[in-house]
A and B are shown apart, each in its own frame.
Chain A
Amino acid sequence: MRRIFRQGFVFSVLFVQPMFADPVTDFTLDNGMQVVVIQDHRAPVVTQMVWYKIGRADEVAGQSGIAHFFEHLMFKGTDTIKPGEFSEIVAANGGSDNAFTTNDYTAYFQRIAADKLDLMMQLESDRMVHLNLSEENVATEKQVILEERNQRTDSDPSALMNEQMSAAQFLNHPYGIPVIGWRHEIESLTRAQALAFYTAYYAPNNAILLVAGDVVPADVKALAEKYYGVLKPSDKIKPRLRPSEPPQLAERRLTMSDPRVAQPYVSRSYLAPERNAGDQKQAAALTILAEVLGGSGTTSVLTRALSFDTNTAVYASASYDGTTVDPDTFNLVVVPAAGVSLQQAEDAMDAVLAKFLAQGVDAADLERIKTQVRAGQIYKQDDAGDVAQEYGAALAVGLTVQDVQDWPDVLQSVTAADVLQAAKSVLNRNSAVTGWLKVGE
């Protein structure tokens, strides 16, 4: 089946926690490293994740992409482990490993038989402080990430358009720069810069350890103290105070054309607040708003109006992820049906939004979405890795374990009035960027 525009709508509610006996334990080591243990004893498998509270948006100006580049370099050997040997050891023990970087954090993980946790902690704690990079390995890996940029961004007009949209959305805040970095800056990154980045940000008091699976908290604690607890905290870790956005006074618009585009579309982003520790109400309302407007490929407000009541769009969606350090965006996409222009599609989208702002949310829609959120708590228990991901992302942006555990209830408490209020505060053209991706000549 090739319905590329419809995938992934069935359960886009990804933020719930197990509802039965609380399997989550958390504590902090003496050196400031936070530890969260999520028990799931259905299979003798464990996931170890270490999340560093350092991401693209924390980089020094002019070195865009260094957080992500550095993530790759973490596999290039330590004083005792040869380049590539980390992954070799993990694989030779039947596990798999990888890492990822976002604007706000960088995380490393292994999934392996539970009795290998000791070894995994030994390896992961080793590279937190003992990385040993050769010039040659740094140079080769830079070629790899340039290929990654080629593959993920430069070969994909939609990805290029997203970069332009973000750059237009953020005049001052670093979220306007792509996580992978601008090509010309990636090309100029050096080993010395990478090592400076490492010394500045990789330390136990800037990291969160997440262990999920067939483990008991006391064992994890003992191992964590043995391997991570002995590492010296850094006195250089500062609060993440980034430049903030000035008030947006005018709507921003851009049009991009590319000969590789087959299906033109309209994209809109609005500046939107994020989840904050102890204060998640507005973000919860926005999360529900995104579901109501464009969460389902059949019953959402935009899809009903643009694909069912009229033949305006082949696809319409809304998305919002409030798990960020600073305000990010609320996004809409409309892909016009054959014969419908981008102007017509945008006008129709704005008409739907205007009507929604006048009428508010349908009670049945809200009820159905809340039912799915509740059920998500049951389905979620089927994957301890997802739960770990949820905790890691939340803690890495400054939320607490309590915030994560409160989140399903906060979502349930959202009223129709909250959704409408959130829509009114965010869906404002003066704080928006509208992009048209067109078929190029």
Chain B
Amino acid sequence: MMLRLSLLLLALATPVFAEVPIQQVTSPQGLRAWLVEDHGIPFTAVQIRFAGGTSLDAPGKRGAVNLMTALIEEGAGDLDSQGFAAARDGLAASFQFSSNADGISVSARFLTENRDQAVALLTDALTKPRFDQDAIDRVRGQVLSGIDSDAKDPSSIAARLESARQFGTHPYGTDDSGTAGSVNALSRDDILAAHAGALARDRVTIAAAGDITPDQLGVILDQILGALPPTGALLPTRATLTEKGGMTVSDFPSPQSVVLFGHGGIRVDDPDFMAASVVNEIFGGDRFTARLMTEVRDKRGLTYGIGTGLASMQYGELLSGQFQAANEKVADAIKVVTDEWAKIATGDITQGELDATKTYMIGAYPLRFDGNGKIAAILVGMQVNGFPIDYPKTRNDKLAAITLDDVNRVAKRLFKPENLHFTVVGQPVGLR
């Protein structure tokens, strides 16, 4: 009976994920990956990330990495666009290629029954993309259509204004799709150069989950990545953040305004990062019980949703939030956010808030690991952040150890009312 009880307590204290060991896999050619082996369902998810991403665009070539990434699935080896898609769909495999300011991500999923064929196809896509001119022109048309749409989308307008204000000429300061002008000017050679610079083995992070053994994974990783160049373009440098309190209003015809707000944040490798995550969850988490949701939505009905997040990127960090509100209500909502910002900056978090938030974060953590694709993506994220391989086992204990002094000290450090800036896109009443 005692034994049973102590086992039960152990099970409660250590989340589910502790039972799913992460293995470190080294391929015959020396590529390293993390793996959660689970033979329950006959498929595998593989996540591969190349650091750098769209921030590697050469001068004057803004949008090259974005367009290149979108073209990876548009024909490879002997197969043109149609042939490649038909082959992939015929195997019921899925490959998704995406890029952002810090990396290019490949999310692949394939059945065990035709793994070799799917891996061969993925290998061709990454190492022998065709970049046929007709595919370039067609996908360029899609990108340009997206750029046009963004130009009339208040959220995109706000994001662009905010990035430019914060990061200036660093790649973080401009839209990684590029402009109509820069995208129209991209040549096939530019796409080839972007491919050679961005997809290299010196910047790769890999994880897998599902129906595959470490040996099998090692073999396919060598196959998929072995033919890529060992080194690529010089990685970006740190961004310089401009922090200045105030307000930017941009006119846009809509019944509602989009509001982005915030200032600088905190690095992932900062010893206070975990405490900062707790503070952010208390203040602007997406639970209905976070401070901003309570004050702005629940008590006053000023918005449908509001939240903040720690955007800790590779070369710069933000604490930023957003909401939308009717033009007549924006000023009131901004006043509430400003007051709340000042309030938490005094370090007024209560023990009750801390306890409830910690319980939530501890309990919610294992719920993230629910599916091979999600697990593979999380494992890549942990490696990129420099977390140890046993992080999932220790994370909740570290979180539990955070004290009220910790969070209030970090809240004072993190929240800087004098730097709080609002960017408003809409036709807000009573704001300048």
Minimum Cβ distance to chain B for residue A18 (Å) = 9
CB distance from B399 to the nearest CB of A (A): 11
Asked if A95 is an interface residue, CB under 8 A from chain B, the answer is: yes
Q: Which residue of B lies closest to A143 (CB)?
A: B301
Residue on B nearest A382 in the bound complex, by CB: B371
B230 CB-CB contact with A under 8 Å: no
Does any Cβ of B come within 8 Å of A170's Cβ?
A: no
Q: Contact flags (1/0) for A109-141 with B, using CB distance below 8 Å?
A: 001110000000000000000000000000111
When distances are taken between beta carbons in the complex, the residues of chain A under 8 Å from B138 are: 307-308, 311
In contact, B298 and A140 (Cβ under 8 angstroms): yes
Is B301 a contact of A94 with CB atoms below 8 Å? no
Inter-chain contact A3/B363, CB cutoff 8 Å: no
Nearest-Cβ distance from residue A170 to partner chain B, whole angstroms: 26
- Determine the residue in chain A with the shortest Cβ distance to B66: A1
Chain A residues whose C-beta falls within 8 Å of the C-beta of B91 in the assembled complex? 371
CA distance A1 to B305 in the complex (A): 25
The reply to whether A382 and B41 contact each other, CB–CB distance below 8 Å, is: yes
Residues of B within 8 A of A11 (CB): 94
- Chain A 9-20 interface 0/1 with B at a Cβ cutoff of 8 Å (1 = within): 011000000000
B153-197 interface (Cβ within 8 A of A): 153-154, 176-177
User: Given that A88-B356, A91-B289 are contacting pairs, would A147 and B301 also be in contact in the complex, using a CB cutoff of 8 Å?
Assistant: yes
Complex CA gap A40/B317 in Å reads 39
Q: Which of B151, B287, B329 lies at the interface centre, i.e. has the most chain A CB atoms within 10 A of its CB?
A: B287
Interface residue from B141, B146, B254, B370 paired with A337 (Cβ < 8 Å)? B141
For A3, what are the chain B residues with a Cβ–Cβ distance below 8 Å? 70, 139, 142-143, 146
Residues of B104-155 whose CB lies within 8 A of A? 109, 111, 137-139, 141-154
Q: Give residues of chain B (357-383) contacting chain A, Cβ–Cβ below 8 Å.
A: 359-367, 369-373
Q: Look across to chain B and name the residue whose beta carbon is closest to the beta carbon of A141.
A: B301
Contact flags A371-390 to B (C-beta < 8 A → 1, else 0): 11011101101111100000
Instruction: Name which of A5, A91, A296, A337 has the most chain B CB atoms within 10 A of its CB.
Output: A91
User: Within the complex, which residue of A140, A155, A299, A372 is in contact with B299, where a contact is CB–CB below 8 Å?
Assistant: A140
Contacts of A261 in B (CB 8 A): 152
Point out the residues of chain B lying under 8 angstroms from A333, CB to CB. none
Instruction: Give the distance in Å from the alpha carbon of A151 to the alpha carbon of B16 in the complex.
Output: 38
Cβ of A150 within 8 Å of any chain B Cβ, yes or no, is yes
Measured between alpha carbons, how far is A391 from B46 in the docked complex, in Å? Answer: 29
The verdict on A1 contacting B301 (CB below 8 Å), with A151-B256, A296-B89, A379-B109 known, is no
Instruction: Evaluate contact between A43 and B150: CB separation under 8 angstroms.
Output: no
Residues of B within 8 A of A299 (CB): 82, 85-86, 89
A96 on interface, CB distance cutoff 8 Å:
yes
- Which residues of B are found within 8 Å of A62, using beta-carbon distances? none
Q: How far is the CB of A293 from chain B (nearest CB, A)?
A: 15
Which B residues touch A152, using CB under 8 A?
Answer: 304
Given contacts A147-B301, A150-B255, A154-B256, contact A263 B363 (CB under 8 A): no
> Is B271 an interface position by the 8 A CB rule?
no
Complex contact A144–B304 (CB within 8 A): yes
For B255, list chain A residues within 8 Å (CB): 150, 154-155
Please give the distance in Å from B363's CB to the nearest CB on chain A.
1
A236 an interface residue at 8 Å Cβ cutoff?
no
Q: Which residue of chain A is the closest to B355 with respect to CB atoms? A: A92
Residues of B within 8 A of A42 (CB): 38, 40
Q: Which residue of B lies closest to A41 (CB)?
A: B40
Contacts of B325 in A (CB 8 A): 147, 150
A residues bordering B, Cβ < 8 Å? 1-6, 10-11, 42-45, 75, 83-84, 87-88, 91-96, 111-113, 139-148, 150-152, 154-155, 259-263, 296, 298-299, 304, 307-308, 311, 314-315, 335, 337-338, 364, 367-369, 371-372, 374-376, 378-379, 381-385
A-B contact pairs, 21 of them (CB 8 A): A3-B142, A6-B142, A42-B40, A91-B287, A93-B360, A94-B361, A96-B367, A140-B300, A141-B301, A143-B300, A147-B326, A150-B256, A152-B304, A260-B252, A263-B148, A299-B85, A299-B89, A315-B142, A364-B86, A375-B111, A378-B41
Given contact pairs A45-B370, A93-B360, A154-B254, a sample of 9 additional A-B residue pairs in the complex whose CB atoms are under 8 Å apart: A3-B143, A84-B298, A91-B356, A91-B359, A94-B365, A315-B142, A338-B141, A376-B92, A382-B41
